[in-house]
């Protein structure tokens, strides 16, 4: 069995490292299964993992754990047992099921991701969990009957991942790294400028100063100025390299740290023997330009990243009572104690109290459980629930950010994509860095054998600095960020950058008709049937207002009653219609099949039939208006994609549709939601097609989810569809072909930038290995390469957007 004991070179002293965290064991008294541990805390973590068959945690990285300090948390987390603190951390609670989000600052590698995503194996009370590695966040759904919030926090702490619970400290902690880096840049820049100033006399006098005493004084000043650069400004390079080595990983900080050590050591040696002022100006310049480059890179990447905030994402709105009127209001403008109205199939965007109406809430968006919840008036409802019945009124307790809702939308894809992405980046960076170190050693040996120590130092130092995989790794991130930014400006909002790759594989486009190819507002509505009394108009108006379906919306607009009345026992059958009890009357609104009536023979009209207390009253004939620009859109699409249309409507407007789709067998009418899903599944499995489904997200959510990419077309800003991979504003449907071509152009842009990055590393490496570059120039070139990637990505995508008329 493999142990964690290492024999040093003298073959007499044995060094024992902790099997869990890699720290040196002061003695060998703590041992389990031939594994040694530095403390009881690390041993406890190993026992927990071993008892739950989770020791694969140690297979991803050597000694991946966090050292345990054996602190007692029995009283430390006792406050979490008090209910008043739960609201600070619990984002959702339904019966005993709770959802919580933690910031885990100790998360640092793929082993961390693996262990945290397998937490449910440590305690049966943990229902589901996922990790967002980039933000170091952990999202958990747990059963409060089986594990309390306090026990959950204690479990995380016991395995070395103590959550950050202080909200204000967390916000400050996230800002500190940015402040520290700015401070480091300022100090490094100050020291670099002054070291250069003190070095100028030596440069101008051919390396010999007239006054020897003055030379010693200048060297002393230079040395003193270099110390804060070494011990403060450059620490992130040394700590990054050291942390990687402790985990048996070679990070991109390692060659930079080696170059800094070599430059500083060589300078001190030459200053000590009185040969010259050394190269501390280059040393401080390397640190300054590297920090400055990383700062600009991080700022640029942050501004371009698809971080799911309301500025770069679908602008969700909700009907709120403002000045005695229901007004569509962006969720960031919603305040505590506001009253909001949630219709059938709409997402609740706040935590609140149910005021009016019968709530039938689907929390699957939040918890993954599809069982409906039926809170009573006065009870709490949580953000992320979907109302599946009549319209309800809610009083806002706690507004939530749009980032919370979009994070829920992005729930599954984060789990699969993020960990994979960061693991691939780690792997590429390790191999690249290893090659760079080998090349540096080879260059050093070559120039030493050529008796050129001056070139040897330059070659070794500059190759360690100038060659960097950052540009290669960031090419796709920068470009995808630009693509998403430009698409969002054109009102197409994708849930994740990986959707761009999926769009590039699409070969079959499937469209819904009503609400997708047609506008929600109708061109003309006519009522044919028994004249409705004023009370009947109010009843059918009140019923139609409960639904977000375009045809119901058209009926409500046509009737235009001046009041609504309470609706009881509301039901909506997808693809068929709606029904309810209103003022002791059973009212039905829907398709001919649903009402058991006969459709009129008018294929260019859609019809909505009405029935009250079993008596058929008539129908509304709706001439739907097709969106503008469809002819141009389909002309561009038909040469590149297979096209189909699926609709629950009866055959209608076939002349117009045939002109768009060209083939009659591409038009499919009278389909139920399950039929649409089956159509997608059949073409995927039997014909191997990659399908993009474009629908309104109401009756085709199953088809949207089944398709390779699902895009919900909407004109209602609260139509936030979890099943979709993207949301497209209806006014931008005419741009869809150009946007798909733009995404394809983006993939070519990434390849182009990859080629540029490779050429940069080859050319830079050539000059470095030949000793032509100075370390200072290399330090300037390295961040310039990343910044040039940013500028190149921005410039090319901006040009492509202009070319596709998307700018």
Query: What are the pLDDT digits (tens) for 49-79?
Result: 666 555 555 554 445 454 444 444 456 677 7
37 close to 19: Cβ distance less than 8 angstroms: yes
Residues 468/429, Cβ–Cβ less than 8 Å: no
SS3 label, residue 449 = helix
CA atoms of 92 and 687, how far apart (whole Å): 42
Rounded Cα gap, residues 164 and 153, in angstroms: 10
Question: Which pLDDT does position 2 carry in this prediction?
Answer: 43
Q: Encoding tokens for residue 171?
A: 């916000």
Strands 325-330 and 361-362, by their bridges, are unpaired
Question: What pLDDT is stored for residue 743 in this prediction?
Answer: 94
pLDDT reported for residue 164: 76
What pLDDT is recorded for position 515?
77
SS3 of residue 743 by DSSP: helix
Measured CA to CA, the distance from residue 605 to residue 525 in angstroms comes to 9
Quote the crossing angle between the two packed helices 470-489 and 736-769, to the nearest 10°: 160
Reported as a single tens digit per residue, the pLDDT across 551-587 is 888 888 888 877 778 888 888 887 788 999 988 899 9
For the chain, which ranges sit under pLDDT 50? 1-13, 60-62, 64, 66-73, 167-176, 209, 304-313, 412-422
Instruction: Give how far the C-alpha of residue 644 lies from the chain's centroid of Cα atoms, to the nearest Å.
Output: 31
Distance between CA 557 and CA 544 in Å, rounded?
9
CB atoms within 10 A of CB 419: 20
Query: Coil, strand, or helix at residue 686?
Result: coil
Q: What is the overall mean pLDDT for the chain?
A: 77
Dist CA 630 CA 636 (whole Å) = 10
Q: What local confidence, expressed as pLDDT, does residue 610 receive?
A: 92
| Per-residue 3-state assignment (H helix, E strand, C coil) for 396-440 | EEEECCHHHHHHHHCHHHHHHHHHHHHHHHHHHHHHHHHHHHHHH
The confidence score (pLDDT) of residue 424 equals 54
Measured distance CA(608)–CA(620) in Å, rounded:
5
* Pairing outcome for strands 137-143 and 97-103: antiparallel
**What is the structure's pLDDT at 8?**
40
> Tokens representing 683?
């073409």
Instruction: Give the chain's count of helices (H) and strands (E).
Output: 25, 30
Q: Which stretches of 120-210 are DSSP H helices?
A: 149-158, 167-204
Sign of the C-alpha dihedral computed for residues 535, 538, 544 and 546 taken in this order: negative
Determine contact, residues 402/310, Cβ cutoff 8 Å. yes
pTM of the model: 0.66
- Which residues are CB-contacts of 586 (< 8 A; sequence separation ≥ 6)? 579, 580, 612, 613, 614
Our CA angle for 652, 657, 658, nearest 5°, is 115
Query: Dihedral sign, CA of 742, 745, 749, 751?
Result: positive
Burial track 102-111 (b if 16+ CB lie within 10 A, e otherwise): bbbebbbbbb
735-744: buried (b, 16+ CB within 10 Å) or exposed (e) per residue? bbbbbbbbbe
Report the pLDDT value the prediction gives residue 317, as an integer from 0 to 100: 74
């Amino acid at each position: 069995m493999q142990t964690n004991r290492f024999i040093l070179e003298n073959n007499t002293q044995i060094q024992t490292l902790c099997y869990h965290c890699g720290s040196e064991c002061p003695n060998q008294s703590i041992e389990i299964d031939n594994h040694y541990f530095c403390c009881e805390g690390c041993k406890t973590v190993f026992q927990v993992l071993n008892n739950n068959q989770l020791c694969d945690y140690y297979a991803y990285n050597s000694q991946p754990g966090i050292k345990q300090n054996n602190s007692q948390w029995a009283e430390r987390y006792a406050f979490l047992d008090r209910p008043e603190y739960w609201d600070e951390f619990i984002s959702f609670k339904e019966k005993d099921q709770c959802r919580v989000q933690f910031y885990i600052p100790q998360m640092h590698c793929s082993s961390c991701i693996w262990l945290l995503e397998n937490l449910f194996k440590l305690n049966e009370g943990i229902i589901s969990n996922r990790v967002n590695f980039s933000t170091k966040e952990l999202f958990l759904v747990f059963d409060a009957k089986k594990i309390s919030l306090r026990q959950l926090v204690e479990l995380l702490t016991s395995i070395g991942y103590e959550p950050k619970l202080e909200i204000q400290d967390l916000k400050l902690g996230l800002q500190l790294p940015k402040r520290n880096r700015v401070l480091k840049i300022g100090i490094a820049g100050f020291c670099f400028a002054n070291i250069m100033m003190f070095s100028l006399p030596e440069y101008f006098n051919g390396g010999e100063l007239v006054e020897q005493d003055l030379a010693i004084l200048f060297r002393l000043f230079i040395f003193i100025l270099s110390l804060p650069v070494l011990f403060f400004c450059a620490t992130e390079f040394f700590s990054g390299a050291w942390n990687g080595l402790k985990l048996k990983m070679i990070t991109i900080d390692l060659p930079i740290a080696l170059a800094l050590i070599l430059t500083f050591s060589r300078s001190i040696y030459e200053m000590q023997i009185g040969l010259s002022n050394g190269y501390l100006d280059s040393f401080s310049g390397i640190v300054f330009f590297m920090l400055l480059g990383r700062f600009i890179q991080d700022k640029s990447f942050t501004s371009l990243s698809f971080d799911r905030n309301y500025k770069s994402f679908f602008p969700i709105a909700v009907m709120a009572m403002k000045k005695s009127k229901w007004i569509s209001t962006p969720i960031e403008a919603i305040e505590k104690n506001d009253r909001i109205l949630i219709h059938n199939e709409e997402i609740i965007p706040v935590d609140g109290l149910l005021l009016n109406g019968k709530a039938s809430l689907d929390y699957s968006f939040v918890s993954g459980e599809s069982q409906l919840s039926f809170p009573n008036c006065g009870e709490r409802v949580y953000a992320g629930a979907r109302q599946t019945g009549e319209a309800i009124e809610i009083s806002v307790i706690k507004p939530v950010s749009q980032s919370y809702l979009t994070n829920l939308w992005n729930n599954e894809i984060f789990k699969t994509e993020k960990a994979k992405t960061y693991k691939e980046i780690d792997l590429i960076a390790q191999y690249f860095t290893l090659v760079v170190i080998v090349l540096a050693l080879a260059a050093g040996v070559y120039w030493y054998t050529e008796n050129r120590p001056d070139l040897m130092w330059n070659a070794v130092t500059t190759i360690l600095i100038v060659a960097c995989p950052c540009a290669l790794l960031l090419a796709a991130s920068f470009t995808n960020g630009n693509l998403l930014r430009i698409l969002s400006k054109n009102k197409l909002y994708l849930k994740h950058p990986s959707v761009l790759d999926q769009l590039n594989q699409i070969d079959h486009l499937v469209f819904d008709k009503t609400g997708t190819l047609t506008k929600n507002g109708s061109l003309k509505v006519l009522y044919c049937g028994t004249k409705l009394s004023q009370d009947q108009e109010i009843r059918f108006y009140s019923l139609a207002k409960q639904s977000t379906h375009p045809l119901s919306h058209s009926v409500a607009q046509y009737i235009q009653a001046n009041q609504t009345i309470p609706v009881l026992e509301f039901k909506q059958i997808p693809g068929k219609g709606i029904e309810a009890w209103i003022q002791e009357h059973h009212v039905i609104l829907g398709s001919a099949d649903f009402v058991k009536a006969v459709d009129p023979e008018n294929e260019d009209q859609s019809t909505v039939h009405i029935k009250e207390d079993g008596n058929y009253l008539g129908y509304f004939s709706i001439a739907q208006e097709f969106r503008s620009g469809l002819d141009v859109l389909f002309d561009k699409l038909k040469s590149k994609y297979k096209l189909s249309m699926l609709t629950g409507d009866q055959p209608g407007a076939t002349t117009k549709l045939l002109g768009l789709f060209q083939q009659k067998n591409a038009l499919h009418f009278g389909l139920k939601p399950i039929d649409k899903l089956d159509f997608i599944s059949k073409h995927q499995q039997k014909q191997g097609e990659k399908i993009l489904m474009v629908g309104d997200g109401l009756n085709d959510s199953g088809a949207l989810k089944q398709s390779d990419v699902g895009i919900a077309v909407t004109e209602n800003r609260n139509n936030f569809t979890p099943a979709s991979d993207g949301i497209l504003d209806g006014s931008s449907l005419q741009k869809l072909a150009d946007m798909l071509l733009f995404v394809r152009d983006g993939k070519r842009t990434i390849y182009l930038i990859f080629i540029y990055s490779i050429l940069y590393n080859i050319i830079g490496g050539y000059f470095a290995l030949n000793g032509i570059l100075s370390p200072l120039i290399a330090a300037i070139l390295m961040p310039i390469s990343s910044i040039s990637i940013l500028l190149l990505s921005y410039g090319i995508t901006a040009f492509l957007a202009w070319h596709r008329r998307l700018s």
